[in-house]
Chains A and B, each alone.
Chain A
Amino acid sequence: MAQNHWLSTGNFFTSYKQEQRNFLTHLDTSIFTFFLILLFAWPLFFDLGNKMMFVVDNLMIAIVAVMGLNLVTGFAGLISIGHAAFVGIGAYTVASFCRTLGTSHELITHFWPLVIVISGLVGAGFGAFVGLPAFRLKHLYLAIATLSFQMIFQWVINFMTFFNQGQTIFVGRVSWVTGRVGRNDHYEFWYYVILVVVVLLGFGIRNLLKTKYGRCLIAVRDNDRAADAMGMHPGLTKVYAFALAGFFAGVAGALHAYVYRGVGFESFTLHESVSYLAMAIVGGLGTLNGSFWGPVAIKFLDLQVETLSEVAGQYLPAGMNLATALKPFTFGLVIVLFLMFEPRGIANWWRIVKSYTKLWPFRY
């Protein structure tokens, strides 16, 4: 019987290679391509203004960072409470170049893709170093080690004059084939850059998880002793997971530096680390699409609560400062509700929707 490449109605894999395909049917490929074209094309037709493009850029940077966090916490099962510090490492790598070479040095303005990759590699280096205790530590003890890194990072940035004691270090405007990217095009330009990065890294993770290097992460998470017995090295795997997460975070940090055109300490605090963790949990730990859902949900919740706090601030008594409490309260409530009622995150809703629509038209 001839196989239908558009609508798969069963499992017809005849080789491992077939199973490892990114898209199972032509329909999947078409939908993804259409969606990708849509993502690239919409800014050409809708002018959101700089404010909303800035929000979208921020959201996508968070997606890059959470993809990394999902690798270490979701897929490898290692809690990291210092992810914002890794993002900070990437951002401060760019800032260090600016401090030593000048904000308008060609490396920063013309070879920015290289700087982004270098920032990722520096992040990976720090990730691997911070992951070293994973040889000995597990669970909460390892989490505390990452927390220590967050604290050390904050202290170093806050006190070292080289890092301007946490105050903004400016980053120059970049150039593209069409010339210098001006203020009017800045956020749109970076939207496309970050979109390319998200797509590349997304495919990277998807493919990684189909290789032995990706599967060993999950094996170590599920049972590190069994993984050890099967010939994997749990310690090295954990260090490698931290390095991967550090790379993603470093790239996110460099993108942050370029989009903000400056690096300041307050974007990489413990609070931001907790926010990334919340995004990963709400999106769905251990899922790739959860890394997209989580930031979208939390960032938009943030925006809505901000507006609500602003309105509430005008009516609630200022002395009690209730409006101030509204944001952390809502944030905490959402996390608790997700942990209680949907620990698998929004990704699980997506899975349910997909499995429901699979029945149409008579898939099985």
Chain B
Amino acid sequence: MKQHFGVRQILGCALVLIMATAFTGSGIAGQVYKLGFSGAITGPTSDAGNPLAKGVEDWFKYVNDNKLLGDDTIDCTIRDDQYKTAVTKRNFEEYLDEGIVFYLNYSTGSTLGLKRDFEEVKMPTAPSSYHEGNLVDSNYIFIPVATYSENMVALAEYVVNNHKGSTPKVALFIHPSAFGRGPVDDTKKAVAKGLDMEIVEVVEHGKDLDNSAMLQRLMSKGVQYVISHTVQSPVATMLKDAMRLNVNAKSFGEAGKLTFLGAHYTGGSDLIALAGDAAENFYWTCSYNLTSEDNAKSKKQLELAKTYGRDDKAANSHNYAAGILQAQIPTQAIMMAKKAGLDITPANLYKMLNMMHGENEFESFAAVGPVSFSEDDHVGVDMVNIYKVENQVFRAISSIESVYMKKLRTGM
């Protein structure tokens, strides 16, 4: 019987070929690891959250484009939670439904709010919140850099170490929230442990547009240093008023004047943009490498930003660096797991993170020190740089690791 190749046969062959190609292709394509990020890309604190999310996005693009994981890729969904814990919780549930292996969170409120969920589902998490409380009763939260408390206590130690004369008198200027208050308790504990400093007053700022009365009061109480732990705008207002009243110190510890210092979110390029000349001689701690430092690390950051078409503002933001580092942590854990021949699961990544010390610690171009974690230490970069504003640019003047925070953590 004569057989003909009709349309059906041709279509059948084509289908077989397509299927074969598809299956072969999927074999070559490697695995896709699902990750999720939820942060304030819009809404309150989005001035920090927006560049941070860009840092996360760009780093994962870089990993995939440059095949840092071989044929495997990272698929990180980035969602905006507008700084609302309810939305963060919803995003997190969505990510769990999708089967993520690692979670990246943003705010302090939502990190504390979801802490129990992280424990229950055993999900390793890196937040953008460096609140010391994240570590309490928690096993799965890995803070990328020194905590807010470490920043504030490190500043206090810097004051004590560099102050000339009797016990320095310090005022703490803080955000009226748990975020602001947390480090105050640790600073007070450090003083109780022997840090030779007198905390004269703790000021919880409101939405004041004029701090004259407060500054005059601090002056009348003999305060010499003001350590801030809040966001940039209230600090900028305070610095401007201090300059107008001519009470800001021109050099560290200048007698009869106030020397202003601030932790993590108080500084950065946004502070200089807001405070202008008044920001001169402001001291700031941060664990991120700044692009104003003009070193090999900052060049890498700028290169990454340029590759993915980011504007100067985002490229030079330390929040962009924060996003990069936050994304580098799971990347490193995945690399370690692959090297050890383990499946990429939340449990294995958790195991890898706890082993990320000694020869497994890694250097990041975004941070000032090596990133290391262990079972007892869930803080990545322990070192903070002290930066000072000179001619409208933050310059690194010193590096420090808080001695007293270590004492407080170990209970010694």
Contacts and interface: CB of A to CB of B under 8 A. Distances in A.
B96 interface: yes
21 contacts: A49-B94, A49-B97, A50-B97, A54-B93, A158-B177, A165-B177, A165-B181, A167-B112, A167-B133, A167-B178, A168-B85, A170-B116, A260-B113, A261-B117, A264-B109, A264-B113, A266-B109, A306-B82, A318-B51, A318-B314, A321-B46
A136 interface: no
A55 B90 contact: yes
B104 to A, nearest CB: 16
Nearest 4 CB-CB pairings of A with B:
A51-B94, A324-B42, A49-B97, A168-B113
Interface of B: 41-43, 46, 50-51, 79-80, 82, 84-87, 89-90, 93-94, 96-97, 109, 112-113, 115-117, 120-121, 133, 176-178, 181, 311, 313-314
Nearest to A309: B42
Contact of A313 (B42, B96, B113): B42
Interface string A307-335: 00110010000110101101100000000
Contacts of A266: 84-85, 109
A269 B51 CA distance: 27
A354 interface: no
A260 B112 contact: no
A306 B116 contact: no
Contacts of B93: 49-51, 54, 187
Contacts of B96: 50
A262 interface: yes
A243 B338 CA distance: 61
B46 A310 contact: no
Q: Is the interface of A mostly helix, strand, loop or mixed?
A: helix
Contacts of A363: none
B85 A54 contact: no
A306 B87 contact: yes
Given A51-B94, A166-B177, A321 B42 contact: yes
A324 B94 CA distance: 22
Interface of A: 49-51, 54-55, 58, 158, 164-168, 170, 183, 187, 260-262, 264, 266-267, 306, 309-310, 313, 318-319, 321, 323-324, 326-327
B365 to A, nearest CB: 23
A267 B109 contact: no
A201 to B, nearest CB: 22
Contacts of B89: 54, 260
Contacts of A54: 89-90, 93
Contacts, number: 85
A187 B92 CA distance: 14
Contacts of B79: 310
B116 A262 contact: yes
Nearest to B96: A50
B379 to A, nearest CB: 20
Report which residue of B82, B93, B120 has the largest number of chain A beta carbons within 10 angstroms of its beta carbon: B93
A25 to B, nearest CB: 41
Contacts of B116: 170, 261-262
Nearest to A314: B41
A183 to B, nearest CB: 5
B40 to A, nearest CB: 9
B85 A167 contact: no
Contact of B86 (A58, A309, A318): A58
Nearest to A256: B86
Contacts of A166: 177-178
A313 B51 CA distance: 12
Contact of B80 (A55, A58, A306): A306
A318 B50 contact: yes
Given A54-B89, A264-B113, A313 B84 contact: no
Given A50-B93, A165-B178, A309-B82, 9 more contacts: A54-B89, A168-B113, A260-B113, A261-B117, A264-B109, A321-B46, A323-B42, A324-B42, A324-B43
B251 to A, nearest CB: 35
Contacts of A183: 120-121
